[in-house]
Amino acid sequence: MLKQSLKGPGAQVVYSKYAGTEVDFNGEKHLILKDDDIVGILETDDIKDLKPLNDRVLIQIEKAEEKTAGGLFLTQATKEKPSFGTVVAVGPGVVDEEGNRKPLPVASGNTVLYSKYAGNDFKGKDGYEYITLRSSDVIAILS
């Protein structure tokens, strides 16, 4: 059961890639999602404004290096996907068996290292890349 309000019918949500079941009801297509599939609530059309749910974290990804240490320019194909960034927003935490929220170990403003293959990537209107992932995918808090 979802432990955080979605603000009623019509709320715009972000959900995990490949999540849910598509159904056709009264001639309209719908998607049935489990509460764990929902990453957050989006009240605007810009991903940086996402309000993560439960144990989800929104991170602004650091830009990839343009050159090697020796000064050679890297092509798009040779650039390694960054795996660190700045936390923009965090969910309220997961609910334990007794119904209490367990706060997340990360906070907005933290610079973090995260698992390279975790989460879902998004492009913000500000030109930055963002990723949403579970707090358990954060490997280290760097600052």
Amino acid at 130: Y
Q: How does pLDDT run across 95-118, given as a tens digit for each residue?
A: 899 999 999 999 999 999 999 889
Token pair listed for 77: 């194909």
Whole-angstrom distance, CA of residue 46 vs CA of residue 122: 10
Name the pTM for this structure.
Answer: 0.82
- Residue 25 pLDDT more than 70? yes
CA-based nearest residue to 47, from 126, 137, 106: 126
Residue with tokens 């810009």: 46
What pLDDT is stored for residue 1 in this prediction? 39
Which numeric CATH code is attached to 13-141? 2.30.33.40
Residue 35: phi, psi to the nearest 5?
-60, -30
